[in-house]
Structure 1
Amino acid sequence: MCRSQRRRLIIVLTDTRRPGIADFKIDLKKSLNIPNAITASRAVLAIIAAFLFVSDNQFRFYWGMALFVCAGLSDLVDGWLARKLGQVTDLGKVLDPVADKIAIFALFVAFSVKLGLPLWVPALYGLKELTQLIVGAVLFARVGRPLQANLWGKTASLVLYGGALLFLLGALFWDSLKVVGLVVLVIGLALSVFAGLVYYRQLKNMPPLTDSGTKGD
């Protein structure tokens, strides 16, 4: 990215006079709810699990496994609970995919360090997410509101969690499962890329908000 491109990106992201950014507000009172707390805990649990995984202490290793399972289950619970309780918020729409990305990347790195997961898996995933983050930030600055995680994105996350679990079981018990887990992870990465393209298209086609908070023509 050249200097002029970086300057334009900074202007787009920091210009609060743009209607979209000015109109985007998070209701903190509504956002402090159980579903959002579960979502945020997913990233925290995954990071703790990653540190426990790379420990030489077997007891800590199994604690890491337990936290890994909890992190994966939280991805199934938070969205359902938010819809059930009528607590879907803009903050939750932002937190959910971010928590997924942090959790999955942390686990991939830990698996590479401890269990022999090929380094290209976390490298490709990290590169894809970094690219999506930059593009998404620019488009968000234009439309001024978050876009809820799409079905492809949630499916990709579940497939990646499943692939990671299979790889883990293979590393612990059956070597053949490591190959199966790696194949599932590749499928999950492909779905993740496709979900990113769908997300990009949805954001690109959303009209920006006007100063009154309504969609522009």
Structure 2
Amino acid sequence: MNLPNILTILRFILVPVFVAVFFSQLKFNYLIALSVFLLSGLTDILDGFIARRYNMVTQFGKLFDPLADKLMILTVLWCLVLKEYIPSWVFYIVLAKEIFMIIGSALLYGKIKIVVSANIYGKLSTFLFYIAIISLILRWQVSFHILILAIIFAIFALVMYVTKYVNEYKRLKSTSHE
């Protein structure tokens, strides 16, 4: 178990911590929950940097790092739905996209041992979700617009992933028959 993997596990632990704090009666609970969310984002950046910089990339990290990110964002969005900060359809669109990505990634890994890695559009989408969630919790007026932009980028990233990996699958399949 290396440091990047420990940071990934920490992000899984931070998910229920966020929920507990967000719904608590603590003074400044939203700001504390926001701090937990930001810590999750920081550990995501840090684990990726350490893993690549010090050659600590593992299969565990490749598979579970994106899952931790998806779980945190989906959990926070659901909490925002429950508090009526956002409509439920936002959550369901993001959930459907993530389920499709997880199933697609699992199928690709199972069939041809390809791990779906993040593209620039996926990273931009995640960044926009972080900005949107921060702005929603802080009740900024532009927050819903940023959230819609994040959803658009998430869907665009999905289209780019599907295009790339369908082509890759076809290429590998055609070269295996030659």
Normalising by structure 2, what TM-score? 0.85
Q: Which has the higher contact order (CA 8 A, sep 6+)?
A: 1
Select which of 19, 33, 49 maps to 1:64. 33
Q: CA deviation at 1:84?
A: 1.1
SS in 2 for 1:206: helix
| Counterpart in the other structure of 1:154 | 123
| Counterpart in the other structure of 2:99 | 130
Query: Is 1:114 the counterpart of 2:62 in the alignment?
Result: no
SS in 2 for 1:201: helix
- Give CA deviations for 1:80-109 in whole Å, capped at 9, x if unaligned: 111111112222111121111101001111
Query: Is 1:84 the counterpart of 2:46 in the alignment?
Result: no
Query: Is 1:97 the counterpart of 2:59 in the alignment?
Result: no
Contact 1:143 1:203 in 2 (8 A): no
Q: CA deviation at 1:60?
A: 4.5
| Counterpart in the other structure of 2:162 | 200
Query: Is 1:38 the counterpart of 2:7 in the alignment?
Result: yes
Contact 2:108 2:114 in 1 (8 A): no
CA distance in 2, matches of 1:163, 1:181: 5
Instruction: Report sequence identity in percent.
Output: 28
Partner AA of 1:121 in structure 2 = V
SS in 2 for 1:116: coil
SS in 2 for 1:58: coil
- Give CA deviations for 1:148-175 in whole Å, capped at 9, x if unaligned: 22221111111101110011111xxxxx
Contact 2:105 2:116 in 1 (8 A): no
CA distance in 2, matches of 1:191, 1:107: 18
Contact 1:53 1:61 in 2 (8 A): yes
Contact 1:140 1:146 in 2 (8 A): yes
| Counterpart in the other structure of 2:147 | 185
Partner AA of 1:156 in structure 2 = S
CA distance in 2, matches of 1:84, 1:135: 28
Select which of 4, 18, 21 maps to 1:49. 18
Partner AA of 2:83 in structure 1 = K
Normalising by structure 1, what TM-score? 0.71
- Give CA deviations for 1:30-79 in whole Å, capped at 9, x if unaligned: xx211122123223213310221022332544432221110122222121
Partner AA of 1:126 in structure 2 = L
Matched residues, number: 174
CA distance in 2, matches of 1:190, 1:65: 23
**RMSD (Å), alpha carbons:** 2.2
Q: CA deviation at 1:189?
A: 1.1
Contact 1:51 1:110 in 2 (8 A): no
CA distance in 2, matches of 1:194, 1:40: 28
Q: Which sits farther off after the overlay, 81-90 or 36-45?
A: 36-45
- Greater CA radius of gyration, 1 or 2? 1
